[in-house]
Structure 1
């Protein structure tokens, strides 16, 4: 009997089994049919196809993908030694001011509750696209905090407010020369914030007592003149923009008459202007008369509208350049008219950013007028609380 041979697997079976057309038993080392017959077992060779085995790469030599630093390790997001992305440090001072604006200050800036959402939500959102608006909001928030702080904190918040105001102005100036349909409404909103800043800064200053309040008022009025030109150039866009409702829903109706004492004071003021116009050729009665009429109009509107403090800001917007020029020269007649404007400031004295203006301006005017002019403002300065 022939020796048993190595039996390799074949795709076709052995030649003997194929010839005999019988099933080849490939499970045995040698085909049983061939073994029983004592014949040599041949299997057709199979082509062997070799595949390169996958290469095992150690974790130390494996290159990291760009996003590997943000991929959680086996120990989770908080574990592992891979470097994690670093966030910028938080500016806690700015966050405090923004929180102050969105929770409190916004409500003190809106002259009507139905417009509070504009100040609380829309203006901060505008500030993300136009940073000068955001800096303006933060400056007002810092001043608001300064009003309710101890002397040390007041000085710190006032300094922060000036930084944000200066930053806002530096970012705002390049935009002025390129007013268009898209940014006109934002520029108008920031103009309103600038006016409120102009009135809020002097009373919050640690050196407020040393300031010439009339000079502070002149600066605010000068700002009004400049902003009036800017707004005038874009009014056709602003009146149709996202803040259009602020203008369309303004109620300037006059339901209540002026108090008799105020009416009498304005009558005396008009009489003084007209009589001096007849007596002195250089007296510009028309210039003074326009300011007096506009002042009376503002007073009549706010008689039944105690929260319409924007009327106090509207009066300087209506002043002519000649009136402002005379104010800078400390013209006595102009000072007398401005002293009567203190009645408007006194009416809105409960708003923190207008608090103290009426008393301080009246006091400064009283000091600047001589004995000839003081009787013209005596009732007014007494009305705002000045003891004379």
Structure 2
């Protein structure tokens, strides 16, 4: 009896063959099936590929400033990074180039800077892979896996240089921290099928990732930048892009614009009511409530302008540890304040890295809670309506 031919399963096949659930011969730069079908062919990196791409001591500690040679990267990783960079320059940067984030800096200065600082390059590629996950539903899990790998590399590299940050790292570290913050929010919006689970997890994640980098935000807002990023953030004058232009569809319709403006008015009315409640009652944690209210007001009130502290999306960077403790203990006033942030995130739903996440965040906060005390019944009912949650 003739012996059976051994068969080795393809474990590093291209993304297109994985999507079609067919065996890939792993030819480079294009596999045979993609050549035959005239399809775009790209490969996800293996963990060993990513490890080797950042394997030198200088790359791991984020201090590498010289160019890499082609031999430093396996071919699949080189092809993947080329595709990610191409997508960033053709699409992703454009989706971020609003609200005071200069298109020129995002498309020119920052990619150039990323060639000298691996943690910035990794955070840029992570955000791009996440964008592709939001666009390609059939490849979503593959792109999410790629995004998480690059995000992990970015966080590790940034974490190594923050304790004793030098002048040359100031600007790239600031930009990387912006991408990391957006990724932390966007990952939950892109990957969650049934809501974000624990509503505090993304807040805690952002604070953990950026605990050392928050001072970069404060410093940047105080004095700005006199280097390559000069003029990148024009915070006081910029506004949320509400209406779509003829060239792009990133904005919202006129009807939805009016709806968002009305929602903002309703949020501010509700916030003012909360202030009166906080001021009229002396509580054990009065100082925490007042500080949280002020931060919330500063984040939401300027909309559609950004405001001096980065706007609604940056609010988790500035809340106190005391508030987080109260939230975890189930304190009603703390959670009412927190859910106002969730409602405010609805104002940003036109961004691909936010979408419906504000509603999911409020829903996840409400689910484990018991029936609200009588004094909060009306407020909880308004929050449900504003977040468009049906009973």
TM-score range, shorter chain: 0.5 to 0.7
Q: d(CA) in 1 for partners of 2:264 and 2:332?
A: 26
Q: 1:227 aligns with which of 213, 219, 222?
A: 213
Count of residue pairs the alignment pairs up: 295
Q: d(CA) in 2 for partners of 1:249 and 1:376?
A: 32
What corresponds to 1:274 in structure 2? Answer: 279
Q: 1:129 aligns with which of 110, 116, 128?
A: 116
1:134-173 paired onto structure 2 within 5 Å: 134-151=121-138, 153-173=139-159
CA contact (8 A) 2:235 2:308 kept: no
Which sections of structure 2, spanning at least 5 residues, go unmatched? Answer: 1-69, 240-260
What corresponds to 1:179 in structure 2? Answer: 165
Secondary structure of the residue aligned to 1:250 is: helix
Higher mean Cα deviation, 207-216 or 229-238? 229-238
CA contact (8 A) 2:120 2:176 kept: yes
Q: 2:91 aligns with which of 82, 89, 104?
A: 104
Q: 2:383 aligns with which of 366, 380, 385?
A: 380
Higher mean Cα deviation, 313-322 or 99-108? 313-322
Structure 1 residues 243 and 168, CA gap change in structure 2 (3 angstroms): same
Secondary structure of the residue aligned to 2:75 is: coil
What corresponds to 2:103 in structure 1? Answer: 116
Secondary structure of the residue aligned to 1:368 is: coil
Q: CA deviation at 1:323?
A: 2.0
| 1:35-83 deviation per Cα after TM superposition (whole angstroms, max 9, x unaligned) | xxxxxxxxxxxxxxxxxxxxxxxxxxxxxxxxxxxxxxxxxxxxxxxxx
Which sections of structure 1, spanning at least 5 residues, go unmatched? Answer: 1-85
Q: CA RMSD in A?
A: 3.2
What is the TM-score with the length of structure 1 in the denominator?
A: 0.67
1:1-388 paired onto structure 2 within 5 Å: 89=75, 91-112=78-99, 115-151=102-138, 153-205=139-191, 209=195, 211-229=197-215, 231=217, 239-247=225-233, 250-251=236-237, 260-275=265-280, 277-278=281-282, 280=283, 282=284, 284-303=285-304, 305=305, 310-371=310-371, 372=373, 373-388=376-391
Q: CA deviation at 1:258?
A: 8.9
> Rg: which structure is higher?
1
Structure 1 residues 262 and 231, CA gap change in structure 2 (3 angstroms): closer
What corresponds to 1:21 in structure 2? Answer: none
| Bigger RCO (CA 8 Å, 6+ sep) | 2
Secondary structure of the residue aligned to 1:319 is: coil
Q: CA deviation at 1:248?
A: 5.6
What is the TM-score with the length of structure 2 in the denominator?
A: 0.67
Q: CA deviation at 1:99?
A: 0.8
Q: CA deviation at 1:343?
A: 2.7
What corresponds to 2:19 in structure 1? Answer: none
CA contact (8 A) 2:188 2:202 kept: yes
Q: d(CA) in 2 for partners of 1:221 and 1:307?
A: 20
